[in-house]
Amino acid sequence: MALDAALQAGPFDIAFYLAGADPWEGDRLGRLALTKEGLRQRDARVLDALGDAGIPVCIVLAGGYADDVEDTVDINMGTLNEVRRRFSADRALSHS
């Protein structure tokens, strides 16, 4: 997997994860045809891999050209929920 190969090239101080909504199957511009569940699994895989590697991550929401903006919001909330599952607010605040 490309993510595993990229992690082997480290060490890294930080990772910027561009969590695009445009790979969704209903997106006007994206052509990857992932389901919303597929995007959630993508987010989980990336966040888990970076966490396991001990690499701090900055998550950036991007893309999203669905006809109904609510679909893009739903995808972005899915990303946020995956982040919440892994990083509590207390933990994030304690590192500042």
Q: Is 7's pLDDT higher than 80?
A: yes
The structure's pTM equals: 0.85
How do residues 48-78 score in pLDDT, each as one tens digit?
999 999 999 999 999 999 999 999 999 999 9
3-state secondary structure the chain: CHHHHHHHCCCCCCEEEEEECCCECCECCCCCCECHHHHHHHHHHHHHHHHHCCCCEEEEEECCCECCHHHHHHHHHHHHHHHHHHCCHHHHHHCC
Looking only at the bridges linking them, the beta strands covering 15-20 and 57-62 are: parallel
| Per-residue pLDDT, 89 | 55
